[in-house]
Structure 1
Amino acid sequence: MAQVVDKLSAVTEVEGGQFGIHTHAIDPVVEARVRRKLDMRLMPVLTLVYLFAFIDRSNAGNARVLGMGKDLELTGNRFNIGLSGFFVTYILLEVPANVLCKILGPKIWIPFLAISFGIITTCMSTMQNHQGFIAARVCLGIFEAGIMPGITYTLSCFYRRHELVSRVGLYSSVASASGAFGGLLASGFSQIPPWGIIHTWRTIFFFEGIISIALGVAAFFILPSAPNTASFLTEEERHVAVARITLDLRTSHIEKLKMKYVRRAIFNLNTVLISLASFCSLLTMNSMALFVPSILNAMGYSGIHSQLLSVPPYVWAALVCITVTLCSDRVHRRGIFIVSVMPVTLLGFILLLVDNMPLGVRYLALFFCLTGAFTASPMFVAWSVENSAGHMTRAIVAGTVVGFGNIGGLVAAWTYMLGDAPRYIRGHALNAAFSVLCTIIVALAMLHLHRVNKLKKLGAYNHRIEGKSEEEIRDLGHDHPEYLFTL
């Protein structure tokens, strides 16, 4: 580490400048090689961990239509209460979990979470009543709370701002892919002959939990602790990997947990607006993740057919998410893409609300419903992180946006009630309304960021660096007058 820091300081002295490293201090050929190695090392394992985290949280919807509801007597609101139990602990522990990720490091924290939620999922195969279902969902929320903000924070430690959204979009696209893949897994696992108490829907939890545990063990051996300790990089590449992040953050200083970083992360208009927009999109995303099989079942399809017919809409949503986030990174813009896809989701729910709509059109509407929410939701957390500077600040921001946003997940658990079948008017109308609200909030966030950037360029915030030491200036983070926000 000392050798890397010495080299970094040498670059700073040669290049000069108030903030350390400038763009031309980094060899673009070496940087491209570093980026490729990071992609090969980080993205597969983090994507798979997130895939099975999302499968494990949403497989209750698959298990329900395959007999779990009857076996556990999930009558009335019991199923919805169990779904809510997950989001209560999930929401409350987002920020503390990401602070622990910052303290312990991703190499320890991410594998620990994956192994833990895998164990909980495996144990869910032995549930005997609705009380056990509710308790298991609460425990699952505890260990999944740190996954999405933790992975996003991890990526922000290795990738530059303009590289972040496409990577977050790639791993988050499996949230929609999990609906397709999870439906296929559920259909396949449920056909395994009974052995002991494990049968039909129970095999879903058992085998998906085992896979999650195996991924957690693998992640421990694959994930690096930090750019400067990545053994798969050469010494020169480690130096460049550190320099890339230092350039973006304008400091190589690693902050400790202090109240000023908490205030900077949470109490600013950008975090507030993005958190509100994330609430809206995650309400819709989780509604679809949890209830698409039930919606299809209410259209008249059998349990197995509902699982299989849920696959194409989820595949479509994953492809849209990957395409949009790649385009977003290419042009370094976020908000305009979000306000472009959310109206598509609105159209889907409007079609579902129209009475006597042909069955084929209602099925097509599900493609539209998944398009916006499954694309916008991951972009929000990446957008908020890239507009924050400082490792601790980024960790807190990621936890805040995902935590507050998943209050929408808590609401989503109650959007589609058994008594509202088969048309589910209340659920469709609620999701349509929040799609509109999400679009409006994003437009306001874009206007706010544009205004702040304009004022910074005009020198309105230059007073923040007057009379301050070099260390104090480096510690300003995204409050620095030269730190421009991504729109």
Structure 2
Amino acid sequence: MAATPADHMAEKSVLPSEVDDASLPVATADLTLDPAAEKKLLLKLDAFFVPIIMLVYLSCFLDRTNIGNVKVAGMPQDIHASSQQFSTAVSIFYATYVAFEAPWAILMKKLTPRVLLTSLCVVWSVTTIASGFITNIGGLYAARLVLGACEGGLFPGLNLYLTMVYKREEQAKRVSYLFVCTALSGAFGGLLAYGLLKMDGVANMAGWKWVYIIEGIFSILIGFAVWFGLPSDPSNAYFLNAEEKRMMKVRAAQRAQYMGSEEFSWSEILIELKDPKLYLSGAIQFCQDILLYGFSTFLPSIIQGLGYNSLQTQYMTIPVYICGGLSFLLAASFSDRWGIRGPFVFLTNIPGIIGYILILCPTPNGVKFFGTFLCSIAVYNGPGLNLTWLNVNVAPHYRRAAAIGFQQTIGNTAGVVAGQIYRKSPYVLGNGFSVGALGLSQVLIVAKYLYIRRQNRLKEKIARGEVADTRKVTTGDRELDFKYHL
């Protein structure tokens, strides 16, 4: 099992009240916190931060993927859009989404999380409301481009925020909460769309218009929660008492190697751009995101293709999304407990491969529907666990910010592909492409696992003096006592 930062700390347990603020920069490297007190602190952090983080990501993904719900509710016909034009509208979102991910991630600390995340949330919420008044395909293109530019900063930003609060061995579980929101947005989006589409005709407006308007208003309300609930410095959060703030300082000192300097450095970004882990992770993410964006955007259309009407389609997506979310919570918990990442990505892809094969083969509709449940396991576990695998293996902060931003840029170009391969029921091209992407991902996962294992062994040999240290970079995650999670 991979070593954690706590493995390098002294065995002595220290209560928060025994830590003097003035001694923190020097003494905390040799201190550990009382496990019971730290567990209580984690529960408090989760209770205050996690609901807000989940809600903002839920609203983000809801506003992004509701285009799948309005498609089956008649929007293309009302704005006189062809199938090709509507597919382009789905894909064009990712042009600005991928372009803005890395810049927003790198700028987050300078702009502060509170200002950046709240501003992005408000702008995309207003854009969503405006989408309810679109009358032509040009308006839909413009709205999708603005949504992409704003939402591109949220996921990297939230991931970076989590690394400011939690240790390496605590992160998969917290990242899983974001992907649970992805699943919940599908389930909640289907349920909400089911209800909102019944407003068809209210105020002489189509039901799909109300989907955009109501969901946009919901997102604006979440923006206020972000402003008041996510402090730019989590270690001094308003809900922490004096002892808990001392504990946060101890945890920060324990993670000093992982977090690094507060000063922006281009050299750290350039170091990361030469890191093979980034490109292996990005390639895996691209393959996994083919599934994520194809599945989450077009699941209603896939199920409708099995012979169900539009309202049945909306509520039949709900258990599928819930299955994917719960499976990720379970896998992430074991991944954190054992400090193992890559093997979980590999194993959770296997049900996905089986599921897509069941959908593609001439099986009864009930079997195909069961296949969507199997697909959901790979859809949500793969991207989330792979991103965590990168998060915990890159340090310090600005190197990690660049890694998350550029990895997401590489991965999210899959959204462009997803919009083009899922065009016409029964989506043989899209589902066939997805199972092929899963197969390629399995090969890349093995390659990255072997590369990281080789780097860990090289560090061990250098530390024992068995080989000369010829490495050009020896700081952050390249330090000899920084053990990569496999």
2:460 to 457, 469, 486: 457
Question: 1:441-485 CA distances to partner (integer Å, 9 max, x unpaired)?
Answer: 11111111111111112226989999x9xxx97xx1111111111
CA spacing shift, 1:7–1:402, aligned 2, 3 Å: farther
Q: CA deviation at 1:56?
A: 0.6
Aligned partner of residue 336 in structure 1, secondary structure: helix
CA distance in 1, matches of 2:86, 2:239: 46
Work out whether 1:335 is the aligned partner of 2:338: no
Report the counterpart of residue 484 of structure 2 in structure 1.
485
Report the counterpart of residue 264 of structure 1 in structure 2.
271
TM-score (norm 1): 0.91
Report the counterpart of residue 246 of structure 2 in structure 1.
239
Deviates more, 1:311-320 or 1:254-263: 254-263
**Matched letter for residue 358 of structure 1:** P
CA spacing shift, 1:238–1:183, aligned 2, 3 Å: same
**Matched letter for residue 298 of structure 1:** G
Aligned partner of residue 165 in structure 2, secondary structure: coil
Report the counterpart of residue 160 of structure 2 in structure 1.
153
CA spacing shift, 1:114–1:28, aligned 2, 3 Å: same
Q: CA deviation at 1:265?
A: 2.3
CA spacing shift, 1:484–1:54, aligned 2, 3 Å: same
CA distance in 1, matches of 2:168, 2:180: 19
Q: CA deviation at 1:266?
A: 2.6
Report the counterpart of residue 407 of structure 2 in structure 1.
401
Report the counterpart of residue 36 of structure 2 in structure 1.
29
CA distance in 2, matches of 1:124, 1:187: 18
Q: CA deviation at 1:398?
A: 1.3
Contact persistence 2:73–2:208 (CA under 8 A): yes
Report the counterpart of residue 442 of structure 1 in structure 2.
445
Instruction: State, as a whole percentage, how many aligned pairs show the same letter.
Output: 29
Q: CA deviation at 1:129?
A: 0.9
2:82 to 75, 79, 88: 75
Contact persistence 1:117–1:140 (CA under 8 A): yes
Contact persistence 2:462–2:468 (CA under 8 A): no
Matches within 5 A, 1:208-219: 208-219=215-226
Contact persistence 1:461–1:481 (CA under 8 A): no
1:42 to 49, 53, 58: 49
Report the counterpart of residue 378 of structure 2 in structure 1.
372
Q: CA deviation at 1:104?
A: 1.6
CA distance in 2, matches of 1:42, 1:240: 17
TM-score (norm 2): 0.91
CA distance in 1, matches of 2:260, 2:321: 42
Aligned partner of residue 190 in structure 1, secondary structure: helix
Contact persistence 1:11–1:25 (CA under 8 A): no
Report the counterpart of residue 18 of structure 1 in structure 2.
none
Aligned partner of residue 73 in structure 2, secondary structure: helix
Report the counterpart of residue 145 of structure 2 in structure 1.
138
Query: What is the aligned-residue RMSD (CA, Å)?
Result: 2.2
Work out whether 1:275 is the aligned partner of 2:278: no
CA distance in 2, matches of 1:145, 1:333: 28
Contact persistence 2:24–2:250 (CA under 8 A): no
How many residues align? The count is 467
Report the counterpart of residue 296 of structure 1 in structure 2.
303
CA distance in 1, matches of 2:179, 2:423: 27
Work out whether 1:430 is the aligned partner of 2:433: yes
Matches within 5 A, 1:61-210: 61-192=68-199, 194-196=201-203, 198-210=205-217
CA distance in 2, matches of 1:247, 1:321: 28
Contact persistence 2:73–2:207 (CA under 8 A): yes
Q: CA deviation at 1:251?
A: 6.8
Contact persistence 1:334–1:379 (CA under 8 A): yes
Aligned partner of residue 394 in structure 2, secondary structure: coil
Report the counterpart of residue 309 of structure 1 in structure 2.
316
CA distance in 1, matches of 2:259, 2:70: 48
Deviates more, 1:385-394 or 1:235-244: 235-244
**Matched letter for residue 225 of structure 1:** S
Question: 1:229-279 CA distances to partner (integer Å, 9 max, x unpaired)?
Answer: 212112232222132133234277534332211122232111111111000
Deviates more, 1:390-399 or 1:201-210: 390-399
CA distance in 1, matches of 2:259, 2:376: 40
CA distance in 2, matches of 1:30, 1:400: 37
CA distance in 2, matches of 1:48, 1:14: 38
Deviates more, 1:48-57 or 1:109-118: 109-118
Report the counterpart of residue 62 of structure 2 in structure 1.
55
Work out whether 1:387 is the aligned partner of 2:401: no
